[in-house]
Amino acid sequence: MILTGPETVTVDEFGEHVGKLFVKPADHGGRCVHAAMCVAGEGGELIDAVKKHWIYGAELDTANILEECGDVLFYVTALLGEVGYTMNDAMVHNVAKLKKRYPQGYTDQAARDRADKQPKT
């Protein structure tokens, strides 16, 4: 079942939403562990939905995929907030990294070369 809410949510609004709800445990380290464990757990639920389709031929449960991706985003946003970043920071960083790695678009060779990981001379 797909629930309805606001028609759109900005990255900043989502961060505020997460900040209001992700409050336990009380200590910073505990919240980091909680968020990271939940990213892994929700990721497992996501892969299970895809596995059932791929391995067992079940109809792809797209509503469940939407729900699990939302849960992953929630906990990724929570972890980023705990370490002083936003989802926008992560997106900007990822775009810059992959533009360096794949300046002409994806190729297997560029994936092997990983230009973004080469030592600067």
> CA 121, CA 119: separation in Å to the nearest integer?
6
Output 120 or 70, whichever has higher pLDDT. 70
| pLDDT of 120 over the 70 cut | no
**DSSP string covering 21-35:** H---SSSHHHHHHHH
Range 48-59 average pLDDT: 97
Q: Quote the pLDDT of residue 2.
A: 77
* Helix/strand/coil percentages in the chain, nearest 5: 70, 0, 30
How high does pLDDT run on average in the chain? Answer: 95
pLDDT tens profile 75-89: 999 999 999 999 999
Q: Quote the pLDDT of residue 121.
A: 63
Instruction: List the domain boundaries for the chain.
Output: 15-85, 87-121
| pLDDT of 95 over the 90 cut | yes
Range 36-64 average pLDDT: 97
| pLDDT of 6 over the 90 cut | no
